[in-house]
Structure 1
Amino acid sequence: MTTTTDTLAAATPKAARHPLRAEAVRGFPPLAGIAVMVAGGATMIASAREWQGDWAETAGQVHDGLLMALPVAAAAGCWHGGRERRRRTEELWGTAVRPPLTRLLACAVPVGLWVALGYLLVVACVNLATWPYALGDHPHPILVPGDTAALMAAVLLGHVVGRIVPSLLAAPLLGVAGFAGLALPEGNGVQPLDPASFTVQGSWPVWWQPLAVTAWTLGLAFALALAYAARRRATALLPLAAALTAGALLAQVGDATWQPDPLPRRQVCDTSTTPAICVSAQYGGLLPQVTTALSGITGKLRGVQGLPVRWADREDGPRAGEAQLPILSPLGFSLVRGRLTRPDRYAWEAAAALSDRGQCGRQPEGVSLADDAVLSYLAPSPAQSEFDAVAAKGNAATRAHLRASRAARAELAGMDEQRRRTWLSAYFAARAACDEKGVPSL
């Protein structure tokens, strides 16, 4: 009985595995995914200071990584498309039962899936790297579907080129040509159709834009594949029509497919100080650090009248009654991984905005001496000693101005608290009115 059962089990054929499985887990496709992951990940690692801590900048930098990832994906697809020619098995494949289109997709789809997986791993890793340092905002995944579709389309287009062009140099040349095409300067007529373009900073695409990008890129790729391998080549007209429709929509609408991000335009304020301190809601988590950095200034201004109502870091400039806070973007200089790199310099720039008279025109020397004394009292420049050392080696007029500046600084610093508060109130009132005659002397 046992022998009969074993014989029947041995005679029963095992279920045939799908050919896509063998293509997906062996050979070149996993290497293609790793190549795209390395190409995208290397650029992100090299520029980590410029995006960690800012969700919007992270999404933008990952999208910009398509400039490297798309040519790599196209070259990978092209190299895999020429596999049968390199193996000299084209005639053998021609005798297979499966139609040409099925054989093409069975070979190309695993590469596309691995490339998409490599890109999605990069997206996941960089978002995890930003999360501990995030200061506000939220992740922006809206660009990911269109980017992933563009990468898969690049693989399919490259695969067809690899089957058509009988040259070992087809893959590297296609990658170089793709990089050159994507690197065209902004303002060219085809930019709205470039899946790697990021045309409107501080904005995000409308909900249908990723769908249009997907239809544009994958539509072209499937149209080319059908025209090459389908038994009825007229079927290529359907994806071609979808691609052209989506492309025409993207080209016609242009920048209108992007809508401004309202978050950077909203301010988050600490009203416990005078002036109040307001930062962009995009960096709302930075407000305690900014308040601490400016605490030396706000402490010295307690009880002073005529001050601006608030500091604000609006990129379009301060409004009436406001002073400009230092702009923290782009990341990587004043702000790195959620921390102010130079709080002393940040405070000096904020104090300089309080005494700024750019809207008042050229001021006489007495006013500039008062401005210098106020700035030195509120937040001395980290490089003040170096500036003074250079001025001390200048001509007679420069040395005389330095002596006057030092005397004015000493005069203001040596006042008793009540007198200094009265003097600063008169100074800021004159500054607000651009009244040079109203600036009290030192």
Structure 2
Amino acid sequence: MTGRIMRTEVRRSAVPGIALLLVIVGAALMLTVTGGYAGRWTQLAVYARSTLMMLIPLALAGGAWLGRRDRRHRVDELFGTTVRPRWQRSVPLAAGYAVALVTVYLLTFLLGIPWVAPTAGYFAVATIPITAVGALALVAAGWLGMAAGRAVPRVATAPILAVVAFAVLTFVPDYVSMSGYDENFTKVRPDPAVLLLAPAINSLNDFKTIPSSVSLLQALWLAALAATGLLLLGAAGRRTVALAVLPAVVGAAVAVPLLPTGGYSGSAVLDPAAVELVCDDDGPQVCVTRAHAALLPKVVGPARETLALIGAKLPGAAPTRVEESRQLLDNTVRSDANHVRDDGTLVFDALSVGWTGFSDVSPDELRAALLDAAWWRECGTDHTTYLARAVAVAWLTGGQPALGRGSTPEEREKVAAALRELRNLPSDEQRKRVQAARTAALGCEIDRFHSLLFLAQP
């Protein structure tokens, strides 16, 4: 009987239209950023949460529109004379709206699966609570909107709620975060834990995840907020209204002290499974992270070609295996990007994943990056070191130096002259000089590295 009443209430209300609008908006947002989550389940859950910046304001506005239904049809006074309390009349529509909102959010998530499932290396369990928190956030927004619409049954209530919610979700976190910087743009204090009460996530790198403990606290807060919205929807007096606010206050009082500071970037933790290495051992070992396991077949060929090229030109001194770095931008996992480790491992930059779920890096670009990495150790370098590496790589490949568009004519001439002088030496002398230069580069003897490749040039 209850289910039938709920279906009848939903069918006779604006819920189907509101749900359709939210699905269209959510789908548009997800389909425009497929490259941000393709091939990665955690990223899919995170990007679905980012749609909440638009979906929450719309859910609030939709709830406000539903909340003023009785006033719009001029039956509020009539229903007020019935024996049934207000909350009993409100629950069926509120439950139906909640089901519709959860369905909308799950559909938003499901729309990304075709870009993830075919190439995903592994499924992170944290994807489930991250997604659940997003669905719960929409329910809380919908019920709060219904309560606001019933309390202030005006036409302007819905658009005002939408605009205010969008502004709060979009600008307040940025303002609070920027207030933690000094005049030199140095972060002097972490973002407060209260920012984690906002459910929308901007981004997260491929090797990080939101801890389940944080998701649990967010779920606690959002469940309390949803309870407040539902109680306000059925509240009939000032005392009842005051009691209805209590769950949200208690939820925030419990969650905020337990949430970590630093916002989402500060609360994110390393996902150990994401950084595990997946290797191809049918030849010189080539490894990528499990988060990018689908990219391994694309890496193996160029990686082994590079190892073979270096081994042919510098026998006995070439790296013997290739490994993807587990470092992404400023979210450092391990400082091993772009260099040769002492165990003979050539480490290249963490791969970027394109909208197809595969790397955006072409085989030629990957070979060039690996050749460049063969001369790089994490130590003090300057622009001259970059030019010296260009000379060494051109000698290895037998081609012309590859300099960026920002290089000047003087720099291009300097590199070309150094390469000509190097190639004019006897073959054995060339090999000895380049090998010595590589030893100097990996030993952080930067001045010697420069002098060996630029010969007598100033």
Short-chain TM bin: 0.7 to 0.9
Measured at CA, do residues 253 and 379 of structure 1 come closer, stay the same or move farther in structure 2, by a change above 3 Å?
farther
Match of 1:312 in 2: 324
1:61 equivalent in alignment to 2:47 = yes
Q: Contact 1:101–1:230 at 8 Å: present in 2 too? A: yes
Aligned-partner residue type, residue 85 of structure 2:
P
CA deviation after TM superposition for structure 1 residue 250, in Å: 2.5
Aligned-partner residue type, residue 197 of structure 2:
L
CA deviations on 1:270-318 (whole Å, 9 max, x unpaired) are: 45666x5332221123122112123331221226333456443120321
List runs of 5+ in structure 1 lacking aligned partners.
Answer: 1-14
Measured at CA, do residues 296 and 82 of structure 1 come closer, stay the same or move farther in structure 2, by a change above 3 Å?
same
CA deviations on 1:65-123 (whole Å, 9 max, x unpaired) are: 11111111111000111122222222222233432111122232212211111111111
CA deviation after TM superposition for structure 1 residue 154, in Å: 0.8
1:229 equivalent in alignment to 2:234 = yes
Measured at CA, do residues 255 and 134 of structure 1 come closer, stay the same or move farther in structure 2, by a change above 3 Å?
same
1:247 equivalent in alignment to 2:258 = no
The CA RMSD measured in Å over matched residues stands at 3.7
1:190 equivalent in alignment to 2:194 = yes
SS at match of 2:278: strand
Aligned length: 414
Q: Contact 2:437–2:452 at 8 Å: present in 1 too? A: yes
Q: Distance in 2 between matches of 1:61 and 1:40?
A: 11
Match of 1:352 in 2: 372
CA deviations on 1:364-414 (whole Å, 9 max, x unpaired) are: x7x8776323212446899938869x86xx4xx5575254144157558x9
Aligned-partner residue type, residue 70 of structure 1:
I
Measured at CA, do residues 200 and 340 of structure 1 come closer, stay the same or move farther in structure 2, by a change above 3 Å?
closer
Match of 1:277 in 2: 286
Match of 2:187 in 1: none
Measured at CA, do residues 60 and 411 of structure 1 come closer, stay the same or move farther in structure 2, by a change above 3 Å?
farther
Aligned-partner residue type, residue 365 of structure 2:
R
CA deviations on 1:239-293 (whole Å, 9 max, x unpaired) are: 755543432332112238754311233223345666x533222112312211212
Match of 1:12 in 2: none
Measured at CA, do residues 206 and 232 of structure 1 come closer, stay the same or move farther in structure 2, by a change above 3 Å?
farther
SS at match of 2:379: helix
Measured at CA, do residues 69 and 101 of structure 1 come closer, stay the same or move farther in structure 2, by a change above 3 Å?
same
TM-score, normalising length: structure 2: 0.77
Q: Distance in 2 between matches of 1:157 and 1:382?
A: 65
Match of 1:300 in 2: 309
SS at match of 2:350: coil
SS at match of 1:156: helix
1:141 equivalent in alignment to 2:128 = yes
Q: Distance in 2 between matches of 1:410 and 1:346?
A: 25
Higher-Rg structure is 1
1:384 equivalent in alignment to 2:393 = no
CA deviation after TM superposition for structure 1 residue 172, in Å: 0.9
SS at match of 1:301: helix
Structure (1 or 2) with the greater helix fraction: 1
Q: Distance in 2 between matches of 1:222 and 1:132?
A: 39
CA deviation after TM superposition for structure 1 residue 338, in Å: 1.6
Aligned-partner residue type, residue 429 of structure 1:
T
Q: Distance in 1 between matches of 2:144 and 2:100?
A: 16
Q: Contact 1:135–1:285 at 8 Å: present in 2 too? A: yes
Match of 1:21 in 2: 7
Q: Distance in 2 between matches of 1:142 and 1:16?
A: 29
1:328 equivalent in alignment to 2:351 = yes
SS at match of 2:154: coil
CA deviation after TM superposition for structure 1 residue 57, in Å: 1.4
Q: Distance in 2 between matches of 1:384 and 1:359?
A: 22
SS at match of 1:101: helix
Measured at CA, do residues 125 and 381 of structure 1 come closer, stay the same or move farther in structure 2, by a change above 3 Å?
farther
TM-score, normalising length: structure 1: 0.80
Match of 2:441 in 1: 431
SS at match of 1:263: coil
List runs of 5+ in structure 2 lacking aligned partners.
Answer: 178-190, 262-266
Segment drifting more, 246-255 vs 256-265: 256-265
Sequence identity (%): 24
Identify the match of residue 42 of structure 1 among 28, 39, 43.
28
Q: Distance in 2 between matches of 1:306 and 1:126?
A: 46
Match of 1:103 in 2: 89
1:164 equivalent in alignment to 2:168 = no
Q: Contact 1:357–1:431 at 8 Å: present in 2 too? A: yes
Match of 1:263 in 2: 273
Q: Distance in 2 between matches of 1:225 and 1:399?
A: 69
Q: Distance in 1 between matches of 2:398 and 2:234?
A: 73
Match of 1:9 in 2: none
Match of 1:11 in 2: none
